[in-house]
Amino acid sequence: MSRFRFFDLNPEQQDAASHEHGPLLILAGAGTGKTRTITARIAWLISQGVDPAKIMAVTFTNKAAREMKDRIAGMVDPDQAKAVTASTFHALCVRILRGDAERLGYKNNFSIFDEGDQTGLIKKVITRVCAKDEKIDHNLAKSLISKAKNSGLNASTDENSLAGAVYRRYQEELHSLNAMDFDDLLVQAVKLMEEHVEVRDKWRARVEQLMVDEFQDTNGLQLRMVGLLASGDPPNVCVVGDDDQSIYGWRGADVSNILEFERHFPNPKVIRLEQNYRSTNAILGAANRLIRNNPRRRGKNLWSPQQGGEPVRIIAVPDDRKEAEFIVEEIAAHRRSQNLPWEHFAIIYRMNAQSRLLEENLRKHKIPYRLVGGKSFFERREIKDIMAYMTALLNPSDDQSLLRIINTPPRGIGATTVELALAHSVEHRQSLYEALRHDLFLETCTRKAAEAIKRFTDELEETRIRVSTPGAPIAEIISTLIENCDYMEDMKRTCKTPDEAMNREENVREMIRALDEYQKRSKDGLQGYLDEVSLDREREEDKAETALGVTLITMHAAKGLEFPHVHLIGVEDGFLPHDRSKAEGTVDEERRLFYVGITRAMKSLIITWCRARVKFGSPMHCLPSPFLQEIKGEHVEEETYEEIMSRPMGEEDIMAQFAKLRAQLSS
């Protein structure tokens, strides 16, 4: 452990890192070195003789898991670091299920449905279940199903409602396709371990020390999973989190998991990390004053050895257009006066729709920016097509994937033939693929259609055999499959411009390259690659984080990030807290969301609110958020747009105006 210096940690971090046995709750405030403490704890445990292969750290994002592994690799022997498991909940569940899913009536090669697959199947189910005079929105149905699963309710719980009928049919369809959605991964893994003690014991034997990051974001099922994995008496489980940053209640996170940790794991050691390494005391003072207003929390008081700092500014502006103009000009002036890179600035807002006026003004001023949350690489049509081909190779029962590729590119299998095949599959209780290969069905088709179907299924069968051969060059095989069916040529024909064709072709080639790179570093074959892609959709957001320019990002997406200079916009009553939160009783979570926004700032923080904002096409009068009253105190200044604009211009302001005029003339 020569590369790890234990005494570089502060006293509380040392205390947390060197805890030996029994439950441990680390309450880690924003910017207090949480990841450093977790990785130091792993390094310390290894130094004390714990087998690194029996240390498991579970978190919520692949980015966090990768960062953890990278940091551990810098502290201990490379082979020891490699042996440690750092995984997301979903990736862990896939590992558990791949070995024993057959105990639950699935095949171990089950498919994982992403949001697009899920939406498509729910739409199909709704058309089959709902009568003409009955309606249920597919997004609402998807949300209700997800909430039911994460609350531990199965499809038979609500037998009479329309939503319950959709849920039941959806689960039946998923099972017949040998597929699971993301919620199922957790539901089924917990079910497997609770109903099959030998599976639970097998996994417990692999985990001597369990660590869980971002514990405040866990739901009831994830808490049960932690309990199933934790071994020892008392259990050696260490959870790290911050109840003040619990902002995902709307998607099932239960803050009581961390608030009532002692109820689930009695007599834990509790350690608070309060020394902040990110923000100035001016920013931390505002954050502390705000969050103290939440009645149900574990007390923490963030502090920093950095004294003072720029005052936090609260600025009232006339309307949302003036707000966008003011912020962009303020950033340009700040950047110019201190010769800073654009990447030091972030504009954070409550809702995505608030970015439009900001983007217009940034483009007008020719300021580079990056909008976090754009369309993912894996959501692009051509990538979903290739993913469907690969999924169908491994899981022929996945009708959803097969329907996507059966006539993509066109191969003479028309919609009528597909409908007949689907009807045959239902009648004979077969998958669509089995129906397509069934002589009884082929005899009902025209000779031309039957020949097209046979060519298609024969190609899939031959390719399946090739990719299943140990050590086979999978990327090359998939590339050949794409080439043989003329996918690229057909794709180019459907593009509106040569640029679009070039970009889409490059996307396909990039995926083949990624598959090749995966095979060079892993022995898990095509199934392993598909699992990694399904579970790592946020990798595109990671790329967005490293792009150049001013960052535009929502408060939810900004969690875990930091920026030297932050603008929090639209802090008005009705936006923050959102109107809906008052009726739903979730104002405390809205306050935590604002707290997360404030604690992203390192050196300066400007908060703006509008007296009027266009909503639903009409200007509406706005009031400042009541949260602004709560942050007032030392090192917080209030100003108005009019006061700022009426101040005499200094030399820098005059030069900025000339620069602005020159830019307008040149454009």
The beta strands (E) that lie in 18-154 are given as: 24-28, 55-59, 85-88, 111-113
> Which among 504, 600, 611, 613 is annotated as catalytic?
600
> Which among 183, 213, 320, 325 is annotated as catalytic?
213
The beta strands (E) that lie in 226-293 are given as: 237-241, 269-273
> Which among 245, 354, 430, 608 is annotated as catalytic?
245
DSSP conformation letters of 48-81:
TT--GGGEEEEES-HHHHHHHHHHHHTTS-HHHH
User: CA 383, CA 426: separation in Å to the nearest integer?
Assistant: 29
Token pair of 131, please? 């009568």
Assess whether 41 carries a catalytic annotation. no
Place of tokens 């790290």: 240
Identify the bridge partners of residue 88 per DSSP, sorted by sequence position. 59
DSSP conformation letters of 424-444:
HHHHTT--HHHHHT-HHHHTT
User: CA 362, CA 4: separation in Å to the nearest integer?
Assistant: 44
Token pair of 394, please? 């491994």
> Which among 14, 35, 306, 586 is annotated as catalytic?
35
Cβ–Cβ < 8 Å for 628, 609:
yes
Cα angle: 308, vertex 311, 314; to 5 degrees: 155
Which residues have C-beta within 8 Å of that of residue 442, sequence separation ≥ 6? 436, 450, 453, 454
- CA 260 to each of CA 97, 254, 317: distance values in angstroms, whole numbers, following the listed order: 30, 10, 42
User: CA 472, CA 467: separation in Å to the nearest integer?
Assistant: 6
Cis status, amide bond into 564, omega within 30 of 0? no
User: CA 231, CA 36: separation in Å to the nearest integer?
Assistant: 24
User: CA 578, CA 90: separation in Å to the nearest integer?
Assistant: 30
> Which among 183, 214, 217, 572 is annotated as catalytic?
214
Output DSSP code: residue 572. Answer: B
Greatest alpha-carbon span in the chain: 88
H-helix or E-strand containing 613? strand 601-615
Token pair of 216, please? 């405040």
User: CA 210, CA 227: separation in Å to the nearest integer?
Assistant: 10
> Which among 34, 36, 224, 350 is annotated as catalytic?
34
Assess whether 35 carries a catalytic annotation. yes
Backbone region of residue 42 per phi and psi (left: phi > 0; alpha: psi in -120 to 50; beta: other values)? alpha
Assess whether 600 carries a catalytic annotation. yes
How many residues appear in the chain? 667
Q: What are phi and psi of 636, to 5 degrees?
A: -125, 125
Cβ–Cβ < 8 Å for 249, 283:
no
H-helix or E-strand containing 161? none
Which residues have C-beta within 8 Å of that of residue 589, sequence separation ≥ 6? 246, 247, 249, 250, 255, 581
Token pair of 501, please? 């064709």
Assess whether 662 carries a catalytic annotation. no
Assess whether 214 carries a catalytic annotation. yes
Strand duo 312-319 + 237-241: pairing:
unpaired
DSSP conformation letters of 342-393:
GGGEEEEESSGGGHHHHHHHHHHTT--EEETT---GGGSHHHHHHHHHHHHH
Annotated catalytic sites, by residue?
Answer: 34-35, 213-214, 245, 600
